[in-house]
């Protein structure tokens, strides 16, 4: 009998939609097969690739389940709406799954959904019909038996990705032809606690082939104040309703991988912090992520955040004429309105010369505001761009007592007047900033020196923002200023101390960001680094708030370090690549001028930076525009010499030489994303030099590994000899053999089963051996 190809999960929705003709029509009654799933139907796991059946059955399946007559096409999953309610420690997950039957006849189906082990079944229903059906949750051992019986029949290991989870299994139900049938599944689980932190995880497939659009809504209520909510897997849009309730959402995401978030509850008055760790024997410790959040609820004494003093520095050179000047003026009004009475401000405008609204910053009140509005209204444009003197003047001012001094620096052009060297302006800002002002820079349009604006911001604990053509200056400036609501802790520093408070060197290395940003109300800071040794770590976080110098001590143990925290090393590597790229970019300053030739590629400083970028990109599968060539079929991953040379050429022509225009704006946008994005970028999305979005499908970040596509093979980046090892691997393992079961156990123990969702043969590094899985 001829067997059709069938379609595989939305991987995590293992909707094993078991489909066939209505059994009544075949004159037969379904009987449950051995192995726990219903054999009168095909396991269809829709919405990725076909699963091919083999006609012959191996001798070690004494009684294979009977195959039904195939349906024309599998049932498809067209979308999922997830609603997650967290009440203190209890999380209730509701999934509304849209199913579409493209056939002309009814299809019998069964749903299998992997759920975290220990979940409790609460409901299974059909929306909009009177159909009755039931479901139950099976524990992980039974779930594994079901997955394995399906894999034995299909020879496709995709379901094994979910070994270790429980499974929610429905009874068989009909999906009518045409139209969309909605199914609702509800289950509950008590979230595991780790100190002040609780973690929520919803299993979903790791592979990029999984393209079902998801809408996720989260509602969190807590009897204690919520310090922060953070997702390493997806970018959340947060909305705080009170200090004890907030909502979060992710809309229309097709980013694969488990959906996870962590919730920190505030303890005591001060800053709350929590640590997640990933063990790595190569380091003699591992990687850590520390989440730091200011208090959600404040007592009266600490209620007032630091006051701000804001100096707005405006470019009024000729190129600002028209809409740009109007938007900048509107943005300035918005900032001044947003200051509280008692906070201070000044306005500095520049073209070839520099003028000030007031000799020194003034305190905001009705009178100073009236004058400031008149001053802004009278602004006219003309002349060139003297960035050097404008920066120097804004930083020289005597600051207002007891404030955090901030500069908002807006420009639309390259330095043309006075001292125009990028290096000289950088040095003037570094040396001439005695009051440690934060320089938030805004580049308007694409004719700005992006590395200069980024560097000025980065070195002063601020951020750079680029307003591209067609974007609104006022909106962008407003977003940044809103973030600067109330500084809770200025000049924060973190050190590792012993029990007596003395610094302990060498327990942590490669801490990112190198300079901690100020911590503002409602913000959280994510610190990443490597730790050495297994003993508990004691961090001391110090800084100043309204009442003066403060310090907070946190003790963290590594008992809960686990390889399932694979996002920790990957986020660290992404940040590290940004830092190394910025260093190369900084070495290219003034590359257009005659006096200063750029640093040659064989300079040991550059060589070292390029080597490290290539190594991290390859190992972690984090590809940037400079290393995207690693994904190409013809690139030999084992030829590190050629790959470093190629990356070096890209970094020279792009990172060093392209310093303004769209070809510089895109690099800044990418670097900002690698440095500031605290969730995974699994598709390796970046902006190219025409500011078009690019994604890379031939490299997949799966669990804590990266796999490169070479022909029909997926190669683990940790295989020493690269794809060539496939010709003479140390071991060959076939699906369905006893060795294969042992491999599954081994990968399950290391939280590395996601590779089975990749389509094709696998070349893995298992304990230093190259293993080909067929």
More confident residue, 167 or 664: 167
Residue 36 has pLDDT above 80, yes or no: no
Confidence class of residue 631 from pLDDT cuts 50, 70 and 90? confident
For helices 323-338 and 366-377, the axis angle rounded to 10 degrees is 170
More confident residue, 286 or 673: 286
CA 189 to chain centre: 25
Residue 568 has a pLDDT of 95
For residue 439, the number of C-alpha atoms closer than 13 Å in the C-beta half-sphere is 33
Residue 85 has a pLDDT of 96
Residue 30 has a pLDDT of 31
pLDDT in tens, 677-707: 788 888 888 888 888 888 888 888 989 999 9
Residue 71 has a pLDDT of 57
Report, as an integer, the average pLDDT of 610-639. Answer: 85
How far apart (Å, rounded) are the C-alpha atoms in residues 371 and 369? 5
Residue 306 has a pLDDT of 81
How far apart (Å, rounded) are the C-alpha atoms in residues 305 and 174? 60
Report, as an integer, the average pLDDT of 114-123. Answer: 90
Residue 83 has a pLDDT of 95
Output the CA torsion sign for 412, 417, 421, 424: negative
DSSP states of 174-186: EE-SSSEEEEEEE
Residue 38 has a pLDDT of 53
Phi, psi at 185, each rounded to 5°: -125, 135
Burial class (CB in 10 A: 0-12, 13-18, 19+), 574: buried
Under 8 Å between Cβ of 518 and 487: yes
Residue 26 has a pLDDT of 28
Residue 603 has pLDDT above 80, yes or no: no
Residue 1 has pLDDT above 50, yes or no: no
More confident residue, 722 or 114: 114
Confidence class of residue 298 from pLDDT cuts 50, 70 and 90? low
Residue 299 has a pLDDT of 57
- Highest mean pLDDT of the ranges 235-249, 312-326, 660-674: 235-249
pLDDT in tens, 56-68: 334 444 444 444 4
Strand partners, 407: 311, 439
Tell me the C-alpha to C-alpha distance, in Å, between residue 229 and each of 89, 486, 523, 666. Answer: 14, 19, 10, 30
More confident residue, 228 or 675: 228
Report, as an integer, the average pLDDT of 629-638. Answer: 83
Which candidate, 376, 364, 372, 450, places its Cα nearest to that of 411?
A: 450
Confidence class of residue 275 from pLDDT cuts 50, 70 and 90? very high
Within 8 A by CB and 6+ apart from 359, the residues are none
The pair of structure tokens assigned to 109 is 């189906």
Which contiguous run of DSSP H or E holds residue 344?
strand 344-350
pLDDT in tens, 194-234: 989 999 999 998 888 888 889 999 999 999 999 999 999 99
How far apart (Å, rounded) are the C-alpha atoms in residues 277 and 701? 19
Residue 31 has pLDDT above 50, yes or no: no
Which candidate, 430, 358, 417, 423, places its Cα nearest to that of 390?
A: 417
pLDDT in tens, 464-509: 888 887 788 888 888 888 778 777 888 899 999 888 888 888 888 8
Confidence class of residue 248 from pLDDT cuts 50, 70 and 90? very high
Residue 592 has a pLDDT of 53
Report, as an integer, the average pLDDT of 160-181. Answer: 85
How far apart (Å, rounded) are the C-alpha atoms in residues 619 and 626? 15
Residue 57 has a pLDDT of 39
Mean pLDDT, the chain, whole residue set: 81
Report, as an integer, the average pLDDT of 134-141. Answer: 88
Least confident of 206-210, 583-587, 615-619: 583-587
Residue 725 has a pLDDT of 78
DSSP letter at 244 equals T
Residue 327 has pLDDT above 90, yes or no: no
Least confident of 273-277, 552-556, 660-664: 660-664
Confidence class of residue 598 from pLDDT cuts 50, 70 and 90? low
Strand partners, 733: 773
Residue 613 has pLDDT above 90, yes or no: no
- Highest mean pLDDT of the ranges 177-181, 276-280, 339-343, 523-527: 276-280
Confidence class of residue 7 from pLDDT cuts 50, 70 and 90? very low
More confident residue, 544 or 288: 288
Residue 325 has a pLDDT of 84
Residue 289 has a pLDDT of 94
């Amino acid at each position: 009998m001829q067997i059709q190809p069938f379609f595989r999960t939305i991987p995590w929705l293992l909707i094993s939609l078991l489909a066939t003709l209505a059994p009544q029509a075949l004159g037969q009654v379904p009987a449950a097969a051995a192995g726990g799933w219903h054999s009168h139907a095909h396991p269809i796991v829709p919405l990725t690739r076909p699963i091919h059946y083999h006609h012959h059955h191996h001798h070690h399946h004494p009684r294979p389940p009977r195959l039904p007559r195939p349906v024309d096409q599998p049932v498809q999953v067209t979308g999922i709406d997830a609603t997650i309610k967290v009440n203190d420690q209890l999380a209730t997950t509701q999934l509304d799954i849209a199913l579409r039957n493209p056939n002309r006849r009814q299809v019998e189906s069964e749903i299998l959904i992997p759920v975290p082990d220990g979940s409790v079944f609460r409901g299974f229903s059909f929306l909009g019909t009177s159909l009755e059906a039931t479901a139950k949750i099976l524990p992980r051992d039974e779930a594994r038996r079901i997955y394995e019986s399906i894999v034995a029949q299909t020879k496709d290991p995709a379901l094994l990705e979910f070994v270790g989870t429980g499974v929610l299994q429905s009874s068989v139900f009909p999906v009518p032809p045409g139209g969309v049938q909605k199914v609702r599944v509800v289950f509950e689980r008590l979230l595991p606690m780790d100190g002040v932190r609780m973690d929520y995880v919803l299993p979903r497939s790791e592979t990029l082939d999984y393209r079902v659009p998801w809408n996720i809504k989260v509602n969190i209520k807590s009897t204690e104040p919520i310090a922060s909510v953070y997702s390493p897997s997806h970018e959340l849009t947060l909305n705080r309703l009170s200090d004890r309730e907030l909502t979060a959402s992710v809309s229309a995401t097709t980013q694969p991988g488990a959906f996870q978030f962590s919730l920190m509850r505030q303890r005591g008055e001060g800053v709350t912090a929590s640590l997640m760790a990933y063990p790595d024997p190569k380091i003699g410790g591992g990687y850590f992520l520390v989440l730091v959040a200011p208090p959600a609820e404040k007592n009266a004494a600490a209620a007032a955040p630091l006051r701000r003093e804001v100096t707005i520095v405006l470019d009024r050179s000729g190129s600002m004429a028209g809409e740009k000047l109007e938007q900048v003026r509107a943005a300035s009004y918005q900032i001044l309105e947003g200051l509280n009475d008692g906070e201070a401000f000044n306005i500095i405008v520049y073209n070839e010369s520099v003028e000030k609204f007031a000799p020194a910053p003034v305190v905001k009140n009705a009178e100073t505001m009236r004058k400031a509005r008149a001053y802004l209204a009278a602004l006219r444009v003309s002349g060139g761009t003297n960035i050097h003197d404008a920066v120097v003047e804004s930083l020289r001012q005597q600051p207002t007592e007891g404030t955090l001094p901030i500069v908002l620096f807006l420009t639309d052009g390259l330095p043309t007047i006075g001292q125009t060297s990028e290096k000289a302006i950088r040095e003037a800002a570094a040396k001439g900033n005695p009051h440690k002002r934060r320089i938030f820079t805004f580049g308007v349009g694409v004719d700005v020196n992006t590395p200069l604006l980024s560097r000025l911001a980065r070195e002063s604990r601020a951020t750079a923002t680029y307003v591209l053509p067609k974007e609104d200056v006022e909106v962008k400036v407003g977003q940044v200023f809103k973030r600067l609501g109330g500084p809770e802790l200025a000049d924060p520093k973190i050190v590792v101390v012993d029990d007596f408070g003395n610094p302990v060197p060498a327990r942590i290395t490669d801490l990112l960001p190198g300079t901690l940003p100020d911590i503002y109300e409602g913000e959280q800071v994510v610190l990443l680094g490597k730790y050495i040794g297994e003993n508990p770590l004691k961090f001391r976080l110090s800084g100043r708030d309204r009442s003066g110098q403060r310090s907070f001590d946190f003790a963290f143990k590594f008992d809960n370090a686990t390889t399932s925290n694979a996002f920790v090393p990957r986020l660290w590597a992404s940040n590290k690549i940004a830092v190394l790229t910025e260093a190369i970019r900084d070495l290219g300053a003034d590359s257009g001028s005659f006096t200063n030739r750029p640093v040659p590629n064989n300079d040991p400083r550059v060589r070292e930076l390029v080597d490290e970028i290539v190594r991290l990109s390859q190992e972690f599968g984090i590809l940037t525009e400079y290393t995207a060539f690693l994904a190409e079929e013809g690139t030999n991953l084992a030829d590190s010499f050629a790959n470093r040379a190629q990356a070096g050429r890209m970094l020279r022509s792009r990172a060093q030489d392209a310093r303004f225009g769209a070809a510089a704006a895109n690099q800044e946008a990418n670097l900002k994303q690698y440095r500031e994005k605290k969730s995974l970028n699994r598709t390796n999305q970046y902006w190219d030099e025409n500011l078009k979005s690019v994604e890379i499908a031939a490299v997949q970040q799966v669990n804590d590994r990266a796999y490169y596509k070479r022909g029909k093979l997926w190669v683990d980046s940790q295989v020493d000899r690269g794809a060539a090892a496939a010709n003479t691997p140390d071991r060959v393992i076939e699906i369905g053999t006893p060795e294969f079961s042992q491999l599954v156990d081994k990968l399950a123990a290391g939280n590395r089963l996601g590779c089975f969702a990749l389509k094709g043969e696998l070349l893995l590094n298992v304990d230093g051996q190259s293993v080909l899985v067929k």
